[in-house]
Amino acid sequence: MASPGPKLVSVPDKANRTEFDIDAEKRIVFARFAKKVTVIDIRHYVERLRTHPEFDPDFSEIVDLRDVEDLDLKAPDFLKLADEVDCFSRNSWRAFVVHDSAQNHAARMHKILRLATNMRIFSSVEEAKAWIETRS
């Protein structure tokens, strides 16, 4: 009999701005953001994630930004997100999936501000998953 596969814990957002799945077996969080993203949306995602019993700050993360049309973040927001809000450890592997230059810029800013060597930007979820799965 085939195994049922990993247990995914799906956490929808009542405001339909962000949702995430936690694969505790693979130690990965998959986050998806909706059309408009503000610093409040990101804070809300982090608070929900941080308090979830399946979450571990050392998990890897794949953030899918491809549906985002309005990334409403200012320079001070990037600093706060990197320094105060981000709930992942410095050892976590992080992948951002983007489709335009604004999303790419936002992901690069976060990478720079977190001084992250284990953060990459991709154009497809498949590429991001493949890279995350290479972690030791």
Question: Which domains are delineated in the chain?
Answer: 10-132 (3.30.750.24)
The pLDDT assigned to 2 comes to 41
pLDDT per residue as tens digits for the range 65-87: 999 999 988 888 988 888 889 99
Instruction: Give the residue-averaged pLDDT of 1-12.
Output: 48
Predicted confidence at residue 11, as pLDDT, reads: 52
CA distance 113 to 85: 12
Instruction: Write out the two tokens for 16.
Output: 């339909």
Residue 136: pLDDT band with limits 50, 70, 90: low
pTM of structure: 0.85
- How many Å apart are CA 54 and CA 22, to the nearest integer? 7
CA-to-CA distance for 121 and 136, rounded, in angstroms?
19
